[in-house]
Amino acid sequence: MPNNTVIYIFNRIVRLSILFFILYLIFTNFGTFLMIIGIFLILGFMFVYNLKKKMKTNGFNFQFKQGANFNPNDFANFNNANFNNSNFNGFANAPRMDEVQKAKDFFGFTHSPTKEEIKKKYKELARKYHPDINDHDDTMMKDLNHYKDVLMSTVE
């Protein structure tokens, strides 16, 4: 009989350990599952919060006043405008007048030069200001390239 009780106790311990092992696997995997779901929920809320934050209008409130007379013909009509012109660089890309004058002074022009004149003078000044000739100082060459771009953008 003592063998039966030992076997019975051993079987009980094995069954309980298997049960605890299964419960451990269930709850640890379920805990991992809950953590993953929680992370997705937090990321979702953060995404929605940032999206709403970006959609706000930075304090600009556009309001129509009731007493104002609104006439749509007072505004410019751009429907027939031709923006595909090859000479149109846009207002943001146009060089400033003082920048153009600095470029002309740098190149030594007193008049509005042509493309050929700019290229010829550029080659001459490039030989003079090249970093290999000026002890590896490239500031004058950078200025030369910048001013060449400025002058080339003003030539039609």
Mean pLDDT for all residues in the chain: 76
**Amino acid, single-letter form, for residue 4:** N
- Whether residue 105 is contained in a domain is answered as yes
Going by C-alpha positions, the residue among 89, 110, 105 that lies closest to residue 147 is 105
Where do the H-state alpha helices sit in 56-138? 97-107, 115-129
Domain coverage including residue 23:
1-57
Q: Answer whether residue 53 is part of any domain.
A: yes
Q: How far is CA 28 from CA 10, 34, 56, 147, in A?
A: 26, 10, 42, 69
> Does residue 64 lie within any of the structural domains?
no
Residue 128 is predicted with a pLDDT of: 85
Residue 110 is classified by DSSP as S
Greater model confidence, 74 or 30 = 30
Q: What's the average model confidence in pLDDT over 99-112?
A: 87
**How do residues 49-65 score in pLDDT, each as one tens digit?**
888 777 765 555 555 55
Tally the domains of the chain.
2
Q: Is residue 67's pLDDT more than 80?
A: no
φ/ψ (deg, to 5) at 146: -65, -50
d(Cα 28, Cα 123) in Å, to the nearest integer? 75
Same domain flag for 101 and 53: no
pLDDT of residue 141: 87
Q: Percent of the chain having pLDDT more than 70?
A: 72
Give tens-digit pLDDT for 118-130. 999 999 888 888 8
How many residues are recorded in the chain?
Answer: 156
pLDDT higher than threshold 50 for residue 96:
yes
Q: 86 in a domain, yes or no?
A: no
Is 74 part of a structural domain of the chain?
Answer: no
* Domain CATH code at residue 127: 1.10.287
For residues 151 and 30, which has the higher predicted lDDT (pLDDT)? 151
Give the separation between CA 148 and CA 132, rounded to whole angstroms.
20
